[in-house]
Amino acid sequence: MLSPYFFGLVENSLTAITEISEETALVVDERKVFDISELDGEVNLKLQLNEKEVNLEELGFLLKYPKIRRVQLLELDKNEFYDNGIQLITTAPILENLVGLSLASNKISDKGLSYFAESTTLKSLAALYLQKNQFGVEGIRALASSQSLSGLKLLYLKGNHFGIEGAKVLAEDSQWTSLKKLYIQGCRIEDQGLSYLCNSPLLEPVEELNIGFNQLTDSSVDTLIESKIKLSILDISVNYITESNIQRLKTCGQFGTVLIEQ
């Protein structure tokens, strides 16, 4: 059972939400977030347990706690359950209604992501945040092959160094036909990795793409323009692209907003 301290922590970290954003991100309208004590009935919940040193045993207890069934947005960043915790999360029937999941900075390796490939319980998941973990190409392969994740609309992979080969796997193996937002800044994909992505169906539905901090050069500008992809937002900050080619991106008509931070 939950210890009194952990029980109190969970209860105090639950908030009720009456509406989830159109993109199903973890950011919700704060005007529509309430203390659960103010509402009656089976309301949807958000649970935020970031940097709480949640360990494997506590996570196991948490996933048996009845109110978790009503949680649609779950944040568990910077905790201490690691790969074994991912196995618990991806096999927990109580999370079958989960829409948004954040697991940033949990030292998740390829092994941890392999559990997503085997999961049959996260079929409602639309937003997945995995930034600043420790997985590589095989972890990306596991994500891309997961049937449960085929409905993703937002994927945040910032700071995982899966490189050119990982970008190729994303391009060739992913099944995300509804993906709207892809964040792969700092993943070391380089020009060749971006070429793989731009020549695949993966980016066709994408509206917002962040490819900053990827050691991209002017040749990537040619790749982006020649691909004919159209984006509402393109973030290409902190790469090796000249001013003249940045202007080409801004004036080509394919990108609504081009974000540049040097």
Q: Would you give per-residue pLDDT tens digits along the chain (262 residues)?
A: 668 889 899 999 999 987 666 554 554 443 344 443 444 456 899 999 999 999 999 999 999 999 999 999 999 999 999 999 999 999 999 999 999 999 999 999 999 999 999 999 999 999 999 999 999 999 999 999 998 899 999 999 999 999 999 999 999 999 899 999 999 999 999 999 999 999 999 999 999 999 999 999 999 999 999 999 999 999 999 999 999 999 999 999 999 999 998 7
Does 57 map to a domain? yes
Does 147 map to a domain? no
Does 150 map to a domain? no
Domain assignment of residue 246, given as a range: 157-262
Alpha carbon 177 to chain centroid, angstroms: 15
Q: Are 87 and 172 part of one and the same domain?
A: no
Report the predicted TM-score, pTM, of the whole model to 2 decimal places: 0.92
CA distances from 85 to 1, 62, 90, 165, 183 (A): 17, 11, 9, 27, 24
Total domains present in the chain:
2
Q: Are 94 and 41 part of one and the same domain?
A: yes
Q: Are 121 and 210 part of one and the same domain?
A: no
Q: Answer yes or no: are the C-beta atoms of 82 and 112 closer than 8 Å.
A: yes
Q: Are 128 and 184 part of one and the same domain?
A: no
| CATH number of 167's domain | 3.80.10.10
Q: Are 162 and 240 part of one and the same domain?
A: yes
